[in-house]
Each structure stands twice: as C-alpha cells, then as structure tokens.
Amino acid sequence: MPPQRGPRPRGRRPQRAPQPIPEAAPAVAVAEPTTSVVTLPKTIQVGDLARALDASVVDVIRGLVNIGLMVSINETVDFETASLVANELGIETRPEEEAVPVADEEALTPEAIGGKEILWEDVDPAKLKERPPVVTVLGHVDHGKTSLLDAIRSTNVTSREAGGITQHIGAYQIEHNGRKVTFLDTPGHEAFTAMRARGAQVTDVAVLVVAADDGVQPQTIEAISHAKAAKVPIVVALNKMDRPDANPDQVKAQLAEHGVTIEDYGGDTPLVPVSAKTKEGIADLVEVVLLVADVNDLKADPDRPAIGRVIEAHLDKGRGPVATILVQTGTLERGDLVVAGTTFGKVRAMVDDKGKNIGRAEPSRPVEILGLPEVPEAGDVIRAVADEKAARALAAQNARERAASTAAEKPATLDEMFAQVKEGKAKELKIVLKADVQGSLEAIKTALGKIPQNEVTLAVIHDAVGDITESDLTLAAASGAVVVGFNTKMEAPARRVADSTKVDVRLYKVIYELLDDVQKALTGMLEPEMVESTLGHAEVLQLFTAGKTTIAGSRVVDGLVRRGAQARVLRGGTAVYDGKIGTLRRMKDDVREVTTGLECGIVLENSNDVQVADIIECYVVQPKPR
C-alpha cells in the first residue's frame, strides 16, 4: 500500500521562495549545440522535424519526396524516415531513448506532484464518496435536445437562484430531492465522441432523446452506436409526448430493432416519456438518471488535490483565458496551482453555472476558472499540483507526450491489424460500416458474421445506410475502428477528419473484395494497401518530333520527374493519358531524374498525345508505409 495522505492542509501549504527554475525541456526535439547530433522522438511531425533540424520545411519535404514519401507539413514520420532525411542534410540523429534525461524530470516524483494517491490506480476505496452523475444528451437533430436541457435546467432552479443570471459555461448542475446531477450543455454525439477521442470520457449516463412523433432517425442510430462504443448506459427520453401524433409504441419497436431494448420489452434500458414543452416527465427523467447512476456506483475522493477535465475553453477579451472544467476527483480551491495540458497557473477565480463566485468545486462540479496564462484544449486533464516546480515539470511532460502521441495513438488500420494479428497481439477488429442501400448493408453484415473468428473477433460498432460522415470518422477515431464503405462516398468534412486522424477508410464496389480484406485482416494475411504518391509536375513548353515519336520539351515546376515512374497527362484538369515516362532527357543525355526548375525532354510510353501547356504529373504507387 502506498503511504496515504490525509486531507490536504488547506492554506498552510509551504510557500517556496521564488527560485530560478531550469527551462522546461522543449516539447519535441533537442538540437545539441556541442555536436551535430540531433535527438529525435519515435515519431515527429514534418514541421517539427524541420525545426529540430534547423532546416526549411521545403527542404525536409523534398528530402521525403526523394525517398518516395509524399507527406504534408502536419503529417508524422517515424524516426527511421526522419533520420534518412536528416542524414541527407548532413545531420546525424539518435533516438530519444538514448537522450540524457532532462534535469527537471526529477521534479516528477509522486510527492512533488501532489502525493502518490494522485494516480487513479492508487485511490483508497475507504476515502471514496458518492459523486453526482455527469450526463450528456444525444439524439437526432430537432428531437429536442436543447429544449430538454433548458427544461431540466429551468425546472430545477430554486427560487433563490431564479432571479440570477444563468450562465452557459458548457455544463450545469441541478439539484433534485437533495441530490445533484451534472449535465453537459453541448448536446450531440459529435462533441461527446470528440472528447472521447482525446481520451476524455467524462459522461456517466447518456440521455437519448427521441421525438415520439418522428421516431428513430439516422442520428438516433449514430448516437446509439456512439454511446455503446463508449460503454455508457443509455436512458431514453421519449420527447414531444404532448404532440397529438406521438406514437410511443412505434418508437419502442424501432429502438429494439437498433439494439436498444427498453424495460417494457424485457431489456434493461429505461425509457421515460417527457415533453420539454410542457415539462411533463422531466422530474421522472432526472429520477431515472439518478437510479442508473446508483447502479454504476459513481464515486470520487473529495479530500485530495483536484483532477478534472477541460470541457471547453476560450479567450475572453476582458478576463483572459477562461476554461470550463469538470472536477472528476478531489476538490479544486481558489488559489490552487493547476496544470491544464501544457499550461499552468493559479486559479484566480471560479465561477459556477449560476454566475456565482465560488471558492471550492467538488467532484462532478462544473466551474469556469480564470488564471491560466493560456487557453488549454478541450479534453485536457487539469490537476492541482503542490508547487511551481512540479507544475512546470508536469506541463513540460504533457507537451512531450502530446508531441509523441500524435502518431503513436492513431487508430488501427487494416494493415496494422494484420501486423498485430501476426504478432498475436490483436484481439478485436472494430468496423464502422456504411453502405448505399439497406439490402447490401444487411448482406454484408450477414456475410461478415460468417467469417470464422478465432483469436481475433470482429465487431461492427456502427452500421448505417448513407455516405461516410464526420461522425463516422470521429467514432472510428475514438474507438480505434476501421471505416468500411460499400458503394458510398466520403463527405468532405469526413475527409478532413480522415486526413487529420489517419483513420483507415476503405471503399469497396465489390462485396467479395470487402469481405476478403476483412477476412485477411482477421487472419493476418492482408496484402499491404497500395497508395499513390505524387513525385512532381512538369509543364509542357514545346513539342519536338523525332521520327514517329513526340518529345515533350517541359519544365519541372515542382518535385521531380523520374524515368520509368508512372505519369499522367493533365489537360484542362482532365487526365488524357495514364501510363509511364518512357524516356527522360536533359540536353542530349538520358537521365534518371530531373528536379524542380530544370527543363527536360519527356517521351511517354506508347503515346504521342501531348500538347503545349499540358501538365505531366509524375507519381509512384507503392505499399502504404506502416
């Protein structure tokens, strides 16, 4: 057993004399002035790599292109790749593991950051006390999520508070029969899952709002999948019961079809008929939420330094950085020194959801805090620490972890599953499945169910008809799932999420190929996915003929052009040829490559169809790097 600390001696914390504190370690890499060796982490963003090497981003990207990788400034490369580029620039590298520990690291002893019990694992069960549940409201658009949040809030303001101004700070707390419940004020599964993707699971109960006159709709199904993937218990709020066309029985049956079996139907999901308009059933809903919370035995230790999560944060013109935080365990006090992500400062003031200045915030209590020098990110962990040295060290560690985790925590791809299955590591392949029509969706699900599953099991965590949406991507990112589409497209916002999260999205037009890939991933036999990377572009300036051959006199406008590489001819935005670069000449000589700014003669393999002002795009197709 670790030594236990009693309640923190409030107000008598030993004050340290201000002392010079060594600069916190840079987040990413340390270029050492004494030698030309640069220490690099396991993975690094291209932009950070350029900074670490003291080179221009263009040079680094060019170096990457030279080794056949087409990546952008925000993408991440591994140590080996970064080293190759560094070596090309005449810089030696070594992996971060061998780096000399930074002096400040010793400040991270458990005592320094507030006692050993700061770790969740070291919680003393005897000190745990009941805490209010934290609730998120999910459901289809226009089914009444916002109205319900407003109704719950207004039904539960005491007369004393009623005159006060309610503040929308991202979350609020109500009291019902002497018990508190916290509601997150940003409804919808997008926000819910975005937080989860950052490792911040703050929700204890999901209230699924379904309009009784409209029934289960696409976002209802999404919300169900998101709540289930997060393993959060669901309470159904059957809203708009005041409407004459409310049809509860139909909704109950629809819910059962989508895996939510309510208590009436022999399941374990409670359903409460409500009307956000007439306030009918609101008290019952809160009552049921509390019952579900009781079953889940929600506890925290209020007598310890606070740990919580940043719910939202912004820069206020007058007040500076403002962060709404949810205390998860411990008690936060005005004057506490806190670290939130990579920033730290003293809590100068705390304001609750009623606009009241408060001095203490207990577990599950949402508060706005002032005093941080920078705006932290939603989802950041916030914790109270003993002194400035510990704060500095923890913030620096968070910065290092953030830099290193960019790629390390990226979700599974089919290729990685394959690798993990081979090593016997993978246990479950999670899939978000989208298809064009219900018929093919059902057919695929049935066929997937028939794939033999031995060591690795297959879990379709969400399936629906339609294009691949942003919500599908965030769900996959938060759950480590692969998105599989059959005869569907990816919406533009989804593509952006796919790019930034590196979620593996696989689109198929032939069911057999889809099933084959999944089966291979499950058995560790997947062929690596082939991806195209652009090497560069050349503009055709002039045409020459030699016998029957047309030579395109061109200038390389970016990247490079390589003999034997794939090439397509773009004319007015359309590709009129897709083949290979047959011959590549500079002056009279055959050459292998020609780089940006230089002129050359290009002969396409088996084609003379080239015109002045055409763009020749040169590319390679190679296995996707793991």
Contacting residues toward ligand GDP, per CB under 6 A: 139, 141-147, 187, 239-240, 242-243, 275-277
Q: Nearest approach, Cβ of 274 to ligand GDP (angstroms)?
A: 7
Q: Nearest approach, Cβ of 240 to ligand GDP (angstroms)?
A: 4
Q: Nearest approach, Cβ of 147 to ligand GDP (angstroms)?
A: 3
Q: Nearest approach, Cβ of 170 to ligand GDP (angstroms)?
A: 16
Q: Are 134 and 186 in contact (CB under 8 A)?
A: no
Q: Are 239 and 212 in contact (CB under 8 A)?
A: yes
Q: Are 162 and 210 in contact (CB under 8 A)?
A: no
- d(CA 561, CA 553) in angstroms, rounded, equals 13
Q: Nearest approach, Cβ of 144 to ligand GDP (angstroms)?
A: 3
Alpha helix positions (H), 17-174:
46-53, 57-66, 79-88, 145-155, 159-162
Comparing CB distances to ligand GDP, the nearer of 228 and 277 is 277
Q: Are 497 and 474 in contact (CB under 8 A)?
A: yes
Q: How, if at all, do strands 457-465 and 428-435 pair?
A: parallel
Q: Are 132 and 181 in contact (CB under 8 A)?
A: yes
Q: Nearest approach, Cβ of 236 to ligand GDP (angstroms)?
A: 14
- Residue 170: partners with Cβ closer than 8 Å, 6 or more residues away: 184, 185, 186, 311, 312, 324, 366
Rg of the chain in Å (alpha carbons): 29
Q: Nearest approach, Cβ of 394 to ligand GDP (angstroms)?
A: 38
Residues 575-604 as b or e (16 or more Cβ within 10 Å = b): eebeebbebbbeeeeebebbbbeeebbbbb
Comparing CB distances to ligand GDP, the nearer of 242 and 516 is 242
Residues 330-361 as b or e (16 or more Cβ within 10 Å = b): bbbbbbbbbbbbbbbbbbebbbbbbeeebebb
Q: Nearest approach, Cβ of 494 to ligand GDP (angstroms)?
A: 21
Q: Nearest approach, Cβ of 226 to ligand GDP (angstroms)?
A: 15
Comparing CB distances to ligand GDP, the nearer of 58 and 141 is 141
DSSP state letters, 358-375: ESEE-TT-EEEEE--SS-
Q: Which residue has the tokens 């952008």?
A: 72
Comparing CB distances to ligand GDP, the nearer of 146 and 608 is 146
Q: Nearest approach, Cβ of 186 to ligand GDP (angstroms)?
A: 11
CA angle 551, 556, 560 (to 5 degrees): 105
- d(CA 244, CA 229) in angstroms, rounded, equals 35
Comparing CB distances to ligand GDP, the nearer of 211 and 339 is 211
Comparing CB distances to ligand GDP, the nearer of 41 and 188 is 188
- Residue 339: partners with Cβ closer than 8 Å, 6 or more residues away: 382, 383, 385, 391, 394, 395, 398
Q: Token digits for 271? A: 């359903």
Q: How, if at all, do strands 299-300 and 129-130 pair?
A: antiparallel
Q: Token digits for 501? A: 């999260």
Q: Nearest approach, Cβ of 520 to ligand GDP (angstroms)?
A: 42
